[in-house]
Amino acid sequence: MSNNLTRRTDPLDDFFRGFFVRPVDFGGGPLASVGAEAPQMRVDVKETSEGYEVHAELPGMKKEDIHVHIDGPVVSISAERKQEREVKDGEKVLRTERYFGKVSRSFQLGQEIDEAKAAAKFKDGVLELSLPKKAEAQAKRLTID
């Protein structure tokens, strides 16, 4: 008696098999020991009737290294971190580590921002933006003379 087993596969299973790959962890590098990692930015955006409130987490950044650009309804936030660490034993340098990284995010809001009234604060690694909506131009009907 022969035992012929046939395995049926869905062609879509084979098609998608190559698309889903586990992320590779590069955390074992020399900077992992000093706690440095690629900068990240997590952003929360809330809309009110008057405008938008944006909270962007920028841990380890300095206020001077953060830039916010507003162009109509588009808001861009960028920041650059420079970190250096040197371990010495007396006058002998045992290890020097450097990290330079840049992060940026851009997003479009539902309405143009009034740049003149926009405000930004940076405290405890969180950038807070208060972005008032620009008053919509009222259509004007012209009287013909």
Q: What digits encode the pLDDT tens for the residues 8-67? A: 555 555 544 444 444 433 334 444 444 445 557 899 999 999 999 999 999 878 899 999
Does residue 143 sit within a domain?
Answer: no
pLDDT digits (tens, 9 = 90+) for 89-131: 777 766 666 667 788 999 999 999 999 999 999 999 999 999 9
- For residue 25, the tally of other CB atoms under 10 A from its CB is 7
Half-sphere exposure in the Cβ direction for 58 (13 Å, CA): 28
Q: What CATH number corresponds to the domain at position 109?
A: 2.60.40.790
Does residue 112 sit within a domain?
Answer: yes
What is the DSSP secondary structure assignment for residue 59, as one 8-state letter?
Answer: T
Number of domains the chain contains = 1
Does residue 121 sit within a domain?
Answer: yes
Q: Are 93 and 115 in contact (CB under 8 A)?
A: no
Does residue 59 sit within a domain?
Answer: yes
The string of DSSP letters for 39-50 reads: ---EEEEEE-SS
Does residue 107 sit within a domain?
Answer: yes
